Every structure is written in structure tokens, then in C-alpha cells.
Structure 1
Amino acid sequence: MMRKSERLQLMQRYVHRRQRFTLRQLMEEFSISRSTALRDIESLEEIGLPIYAEHGRHGGYRLLDTATLPPVSFTANEVLALYFSMQALQSFSGDAFGVSFHSIHARFLDIVTPHQRQQIEQFHNRISFYHGEQARTGEYLEQMLLAAVKQQIVHIDYSSARGTGQRRIQPFAVYVMQGYWYCQSYDLDKEAYRVFRCDRITGVMLSDEAPREQLSHFDLHNARSLRQPSVRAVQFQCAVDELSESDLQARLLPSMTLIDKGHDGWSVHGSYEPEEQEFILSYLSGFGIKLKQVEPQQLREQLKQYYQRLLEQL
């Protein structure tokens, strides 16, 4: 059960957000009885929240425009949860977002109480976070993030195995996976959905062109399934042993799907463009000895050659 003090804090913000509300809405929002809702309204009035009742068929409660929100406060568990999240996400902070993790960390410690700071120190001394290599961001990750959020069309200089060229795209989803940042976009010249690695973007210029309205309704969960292979794309599949479904799902790229083969394990099906060959070879080699039955034959031979090149470099 939520303590009354915590519920009243949440209720103050709910009332400020709604401005007008009914007793029934308050009961449903906080899963409380009618009598508890009435007592909570009285408590809000006692601490100075200017609420008054509106009578009549469409009556309820209304907050005066002069009301201000109280300072944000957190419970002990909420402080520890926030601190845990900050530590876990430390690898994603840095220049790419125009912020410093250490600056955020210092500000966070400034706003907590002395008792909460002592709890954080105890927490810090007993739980360790070992951060691996930071995801490769590239120089223009922040611009791509903003373009995706604002639904802006941009011209990018993009470097791939085929060389550097300019692309006219509308980004609408950015995500990190397997040590790289990816930007899901609509390629306006090719009229097709494409994924770009952000660290391969070598230049960005904002366009005055009006964005495609239909793309504004997509979110990341929809966007990952939008990529359509070109006529040049190579279809492939491979079997993977000794990895759980969750581990495999975490490794899948937008152009791939996971097939349950029952007792035979899992099979990854997907496609890649010819210019993505080196990337797909590197991706498949990451499965190590768990990788089985790579098809087509051409990809299997290319993978063998890839392993041979690695051995020759040792």
C-alpha cells in the first residue's frame, strides 16, 4: 500500500496536470475509496492547495490558476532507484548528448538530503558497476537524435564499404545495439526505409524541406519492422545453438527475425545489402562456435575467408 504522504505528493501533481477533476476520477487514478478520496482532498486543502468544488450536473473540483507546484521530493527507495539507474546508464553519457555524467551526478547529490546522501554512499560501497566499451556514437549523434524527435529532413554524408556519398533522409528512431548507435530513417531518394550507423555519418546539414507526415506516427517499436530489403539484398539464415531466446533477441538487427526450430535450437533469418557484407560477416562471427549451418553457400565461403583473414593478422 502507498503511504498517505506519498499519495498526496502524487495527487498534487495530478491535480495540477488536470486542473479540473471529479471524485470518481481521483478514486480510479489512485485506487482509493470514496471516503479516502474525500479525506485526501481535505488534506490537500489543509496544506494550502487552492481547490474549490463546482456544483451541478457537470460539477467536480477545480484548482485555482494561482496554485504552484511544490518542490520535487523523493522517497528513500526512489533516490536509490534513481542513483542505480544513473550508474547503470553511465556508459551512455558524455559528449554525444552535450552533458557530462559527472556533472549530473554532482547535481543529483546536491539535491538529496544528508540522510539520503549517506544511504547512497553505503549503496555505492556495496554494489559495483563495471562498464564495458562505450557505444560508438560518432560526431553527429546529437543532431540525429534531435532530427528524429523533431521530424526533420537532413542531408548526411555517409561512409560505407562502397565509399562516401550523400543521402537525403528523415530520421524517426535512434537506438543502441551491440556497441553501435543506429538511426532508422526513410531514404527520400530511394523511397525506402534504411538503417544508418551513426558513427559512419561524417556530415549533417538540416533541410528546409517539409517532413513526410506519415512518418510522424511511428515509434521505435514500429520503426524496427519497417526496413524493406532492396532488389539487390542477399537473403540469409543461420542456426545458433546454446543461446537463449532473450539473448538472441537482444542481438537481432531490424532486418532479422528469430525462428524457433524446437529441439534444433533457433534460426536467424534476415537480409543484408551488398555494401553491408563486411558488417554482416563481423556480426555473424560474433556468435563464435555457437553459429551453425550458415546459408547461402556464398555467405558461408565468405565467412570462412573472413576467419582466414583474422588468423593471418595474428
Structure 2
Amino acid sequence: MTPIKEKGERNLSKAVRLNELRLYINRVKKFKVNDLAKEFNVSRRTILRDLEELSISGVPLISEVGVNGGYQVLEEKNLLSVSFTKEETFSIFFALTSLKHFMSLPFESEYESIIRKFYLNLNGLMKDEIDSIKNRVDFQIDNQSEEVPFLKELFMAAVENEPLCISYKGVRRDVQPIGLYSRYGRWYCPSYCYLRKDYRLFRCDHISELEITDREDKIKIEVNNLSDIISSISQEKEYELVVQLSPTGVKKYQSNSWPNSNLVESNGQAVVYGSISETDVDFLADYFIYLREDAKVIQPVELVDEIKKRISVLRGLYE
């Protein structure tokens, strides 16, 4: 049953009033019902109902009896102190949903807790809207088939400027991570390499061991734009990419084009020109095998050879 509005109550929607009430009690820390009723121009009965609903939703309220009694918040720091519009709420939900297909995340357990708390703190109407749309959107993270055990440690080392000793493809390396980025569903860690005395790009799933080192020559790395640093790392070879596409291949390319590539259509033929890095070869080999006759790689020869090698392995399975 919808509560009857008391005479003279302020004309605010319940959701807005609850949000403003949450922010208000977080600011004043200790309060009385009469003070809240006066502040929001509503009755004591309405305020008591609101406090009960906030308490059920997780706001830690405690009451004190006596002349100087009232209510106070047990842990103010745990309150949500930001108000979101409907569109902003949807944006946050989509962002959180996009992460669920990653096999590995820097903060996996925290991610599950965040999305649960975010959902539980929505009002009833917004929960209904999220429920109605959550099966209407999905994301696919291509080719992430390997778990990455050290993402959190790499990220925290980057934040705290901590040097690490890693085992990379079986070789011990002293590095200082700068950050993390994902490409084609794989995680990479741009880092300063003490052996090469330069920045290098490391694929995170190739790191099998990791430990903090106590180097005296630790450097302080200031990162203003991670993308610029990644693009300036010259560890990887660059190959020119040329791929012929069928009409079906063109549609697939247009729905999910590759970075650093352009489609040229002329005289009934479609060709993609672009560039790829050395670490992209193994991913694109799997990708073009998946496209079968809809894509023919002309170059680089390294990619063509990798595709042939994988086809040979597959043929051997059935011979």
C-alpha cells in the first residue's frame, strides 16, 4: 500500500527524498527525527518510514535514548555520497557488465562485491528497469583463453612504483610496471626494463612468476598518458598487413574493424591495408582461420606462415 502523503509535505519524489536524506545524515552525522522533519518539510511519520527504508538498504543507523538522544550513522565512510541520473546509472551498469567476460581482472573479488552493492543500493523502480534491460546487452571479449594470475600485483606495483622480478617466458627480468592495458582480450603490462634500460611491453599471461625486489636504483615514473607511452614503446616489430575479403568478410570487418587498418573497395574487390605488431600475429592467425574462405592474408609472410602452421597441426589431428 502506498503511504498517504501528510499535509504540507514537500513535493519531492520518494527516491529523490531518500537520496537527499542519505546525503544529509552523512553530513550532519548525528540527528533527531524532528530536525529531519523540519529540514525536509515532512511529518515525523514520513521521516521514520524513510529511516527504516534506509536502514533496510544498508545504511548503518543506531538510535540513542534520553534527552539528548536521536540517531547517528555508525560508519559514515561506507555511505554512497553520489547521486546518479537514470542515464548515468545505466552507463555504470553497462561498464560493469562489460567486465564480466574477462577471464582475469586485477580485482576480481572486489568486482563481484561492487556490482552487488551497486545493484542493492538502487531504489525499487531503478532495480526493475535494470532487470528489464540486463538481458538486452552483452559484450564479447575476443580470444581470452588464458588466465592471468598476477594482474592485481602488476597493477599495484605500477601504482606504487615498485620494481618486480618476473619470470617472462622462462627468463628472469627486473622490471618496473607502468600500468595495464587490454587488447584483443589479452592483458599487457608496459614496464621499464632494467636490463634493456628502456620501456618494453610484456604480455601478462607469459609471466609465470613474480616477486617484489628491493632495488636501490628504483625510478619514479610519472605517467600522464598511458596510450602515448604504449605507442612509443618500440620493442615489437611492425608488419604491413594486406588481406583480401569476400563480400561476407567485408561485412564481418565493418562490424568489428581491426585497429590501424583501412578497407579499400575497387573494381569489385575488397582489400584491407594496415599494420600489426609482432604480438598480434598469433591472435590474428586464429582470427583468420576462423574466417575461413572469407579472408585471404597476402602479407605479412610471418602471419601467413603462422596460419599454415596451425592448419598443418589441425590436419595432423585428423590424419
Which of the five TM-score ranges fits, normalised by the shorter chain?
A: 0.5 to 0.7
1:121 CA drift (Å): 2.5
* Correspondence 1:195-214 to 2 at 5 A: 195-209=201-215, 210-213=217-220
Partner of 1:84: 94
8 A contact 2:174–2:195 mirrored in 1: yes
Partner of 1:52: none
Partner of 1:292: 297
Partner of 1:127: 136
1:308 CA drift (Å): 1.4
1:239 CA drift (Å): 0.4
TM-score (normalised: structure 2): 0.59
Partner of 1:171: 177
Please state whether the residue corresponding to 2:273 is helix, strand or coil.
Answer: strand
Partner of 1:105: 115
Partner of 1:309: 313
Structure-2 separation of matches of 1:181 and 1:109: 28
8 A contact 1:96–1:137 mirrored in 2: no
> How many residues align structurally?
231
Q: Give the residue type in structure 1 aligned to 2:211.
A: M
Structure-1 separation of matches of 2:198 and 2:179: 15
TM-score (normalised: structure 1): 0.60
Listed one character per residue, the Cα deviations across residues 220-248 of structure 1 (whole Å, up to 9, x for unaligned) are 21122122248xx6x63230243349711
1:190 to 192, 196, 216: 196
Q: Give the residue type in structure 2 aligned to 1:167.
A: R
8 A contact 1:259–1:269 mirrored in 2: no
Structure-1 separation of matches of 2:176 and 2:265: 40
Structure-2 separation of matches of 1:244 and 1:130: 17
1:195 CA drift (Å): 1.7
2:162 to 137, 149, 152: 152
Structure-2 separation of matches of 1:127 and 1:259: 31
Please state whether the residue corresponding to 1:82 is helix, strand or coil.
Answer: helix
**What are the ranges of 5 or more consecutive residues in structure 2 without an aligned counterpart?**
1-15, 24-38, 41-76
Partner of 1:237: 240
Structure-2 separation of matches of 1:299 and 1:248: 15
Structure-2 separation of matches of 1:117 and 1:193: 46
Structure-2 separation of matches of 1:265 and 1:259: 8
Considering only aligned residues, what root-mean-square deviation do their CA atoms show, in Å? 3.7
Listed one character per residue, the Cα deviations across residues 50-77 of structure 1 (whole Å, up to 9, x for unaligned) are xxxxxxxxxxxxxxxxxx9993222233
8 A contact 2:297–2:304 mirrored in 1: no
**What are the ranges of 5 or more consecutive residues in structure 1 without an aligned counterpart?**
13-45, 48-67, 250-256
Structure-1 separation of matches of 2:303 and 2:297: 13
Distance verdict in 2 for CA 1:282–1:73, change over 3 Å: closer
Structure-2 separation of matches of 1:185 and 1:295: 28
8 A contact 1:87–1:129 mirrored in 2: yes
Partner of 1:36: none
Please state whether the residue corresponding to 1:202 is helix, strand or coil.
Answer: strand
Structure-2 separation of matches of 1:300 and 1:118: 51
8 A contact 2:281–2:303 mirrored in 1: no
After alignment, is 220-229 or 280-289 more displaced? 280-289
Q: Give the residue type in structure 2 aligned to 1:129.
A: D
Partner of 2:229: 223
Listed one character per residue, the Cα deviations across residues 178-204 of structure 1 (whole Å, up to 9, x for unaligned) are 221111122110223322121221111
1:154 CA drift (Å): 0.9
1:166 CA drift (Å): 0.5
Distance verdict in 2 for CA 1:109–1:169, change over 3 Å: same
Identity of aligned residues (%): 21
Structure-1 separation of matches of 2:254 and 2:107: 33
8 A contact 2:189–2:204 mirrored in 1: yes
**Rg larger in structure:** 2
Please state whether the residue corresponding to 2:222 is helix, strand or coil.
Answer: helix
Distance verdict in 2 for CA 1:194–1:245, change over 3 Å: farther
Distance verdict in 2 for CA 1:97–1:286, change over 3 Å: same
